[in-house]
Amino acid sequence: MNEAWQAEPKRNVAIWVQILVWIGLLGLLILVAIVLAKTQQPILRPGSSVPDFSLSLYDGYQYGDASEVQLSDFLGKVVVVNFWASWCKPCESEAAELESAWKRYRDGGEVIFLGVDYVDTEPEARSYLAKFEVTYPNGPDLGTSISQIFNRNLGVPETYFIDRQGILRFVKIGPFSTAGEIQTVVDPLIAGK
């Protein structure tokens, strides 16, 4: 009668099998950590050549008469690429600083600011641009194709400074606190430093 209730004797797994299982799990965790770390790092680092991209511009935010621009259109100029979104509160805190810096440089013709609206809708984006009186060229990141080039995935705002030869020179993650902070990056690039 007690025989039915008796448990089968436990079989011990060989210690070498246990060690192999733990080594395999540890190796898998290390592999996952490496992959995650790589996805958090920009594909483009300062000193890298920035691949050409096209940005369709919102009506009213064109560059001259152009409703679409390519990065290669601006070789010979310093390019400031700012990723933003209407739903981004930190973007609001830097909007006036970016506009102020743009106004400082726009008449000189040596610097171009490009606003890239990230994962947003056009009505909300246009409302944001009007609210903060933004005047530099702006357009949507259609299909996130531009953000994929920069591997921007830490959240908006992010700003990339590209020199006259198309080389990424500086990356700012998060909002600017003053227009002067932007100038400290742009002025040496204008001077070729």
Q: What percent of the chain has pLDDT over 70?
A: 87
The one-letter amino acid code at 50 reads V
Average pLDDT over residues 79-99: 97
Average pLDDT value for residue range 45-59: 96
Residue range 78-86: mean pLDDT, rounded? 97
Query: Which pLDDT tens digit goes with each residue over 113-164?
Result: 999 999 999 999 999 999 999 999 999 999 999 998 988 666 899 999 999 9
